[in-house]
């Protein structure tokens, strides 16, 4: 390869080429699926965060989550001492949650389709920010009004070890390494599977710095 050709590839992400891995009957990891839209996703994310900045929330049990949260879409997932719920307004600003950027919606719908779920219409996008050391304990996503729609979960920035469990907290979990640009989709018979994230390791990502960002798209209502 001549030095000129080499330069052509200087901007290409070092992540794996797009590919689909099945991790459950109706659960898939779509490797690198978000990468082609990255240059549109990041400015849209910045605009959302300018209106609804990251904040650490408290669980009903009184623990402050290590992950910082924001949301966009009609409904935003929140937690405080009185419980988990979806709200139309950001409790911190009193304003409606920022609208879901079109590029977010399109990415989520395309990923759902790729995993076999046609016509996914998310009304909520939870945005999770993990600094090194932050984690997400095993849980089920079950605050939604119905479970007919899948979950679409986008990973950006630092790598994570995703835990994909069964239908009981005590079931053995698969460990699924997730890299920048990967998307996990689970729904149908797998919709209520336990899942979580091991503590994020120290590191620096060329585009996102010292953090992992996750978008979790859901149909809440």
- Phi, psi (rounded to 5 degrees) for 39: -70, -15
Q: Is residue 104 close enough to count as binding ligand SIN by CB under 6 A? A: no
DSSP type of residue 36: G
Q: How far is the CB of 109 from Fe ion (least distance, A)?
A: 19
| 215 binds ligand SIN per the rule CB under 6 A | no
By the rule CB under 6 A, 136 interacts with ligand SIN? yes
* Near ligand SIN by CB under 6 A: residue from 214, 217, 218, 220: 214
Q: Are 169 and 103 in contact (CB under 8 A)?
A: no
* Choices 9-17, 50-58, 134-142, 157-165 (CB under 5 A): range interacting with Fe ion: 134-142
Residue 107 φ then ψ, to 5°: -60, -45
If the CB atoms of residues 141 and 144 are measured against Fe ion, the closer one turns out to be 141
Rounded CA gap, 173 and 75, in Å? 30
Note whether 128 binds ligand SIN by CB under 6 A: yes
Distance between CA 90 and CA 76 in Å, rounded? Answer: 7
Stretch that binds Fe ion, among 28-36, 92-100, 115-123, 136-144 (CB under 5 A): 136-144
Q: Does 153 bind ligand SIN (CB under 6 A)?
A: yes
Question: Pick from 213, 220, 218, 138: which is nearest to 174 by CA?
Answer: 138
Other beta carbons within 10 Å of 217 = 29
When CB distances are held under 5 to 8 angstroms depending on the partner's kind, the choice from ligand SIN, Fe ion, none that residue 162 binds is: ligand SIN
Q: Decide: 220 and 143 in contact? Cβ < 8 Å.
A: yes
Identified binder of Fe ion from the candidate list 69, 98, 100, 141, rule CB under 5 A: 141
Calpha distance 72→148 (Å, rounded): 21
Number of residues that bind Fe ion (CB under 5 A): 1
Residues that bind ligand SIN (CB under 6 A): 128, 136, 153, 162, 195, 197, 214, 216
């Amino acid at each position: 390869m001549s030095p000129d050709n080499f330069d052509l590839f200087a901007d290409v992400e070092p992540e794996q080429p797009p590919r689909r891995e099945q991790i459950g009957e109706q659960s898939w990891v779509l490797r690198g699926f978000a990468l082609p839209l990255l240059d549109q996703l990041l400015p849209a994310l910045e605009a959302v965060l300018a209106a609804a900045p990251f904040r650490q929330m408290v669980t009903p049990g009184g623990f402050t989550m290590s992950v910082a949260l924001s949301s966009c879409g009609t409904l935003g997932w929140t937690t405080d001492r009185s419980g988990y719920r979806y709200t139309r307004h950001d409790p911190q600003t009193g304003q409606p949650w920022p609208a879901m950027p079109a590029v977010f919606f399109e990415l989520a719908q395309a990923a759902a389709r790729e995993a076999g779920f046609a016509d996914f219409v998310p009304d909520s996008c939870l945005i999770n920010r993990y600094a090194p050391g932050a984690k997400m304990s095993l849980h089920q996503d079950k605050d939604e009004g119905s479970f007919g729609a899948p979950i679409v979960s986008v990973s950006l920035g630092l790598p994570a070890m995703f835990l994909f469990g069964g239908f009981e907290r005590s079931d053995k979990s698969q460990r699924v390494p997730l890299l920048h640009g990967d998307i996990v989709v689970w729904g149908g018979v797998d919709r209520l599977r336990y899942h979580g994230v091991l503590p994020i390791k120290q590191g620096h990502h060329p585009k996102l710095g010292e953090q992992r960002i996750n978008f979790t798209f859901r149909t809440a209502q």
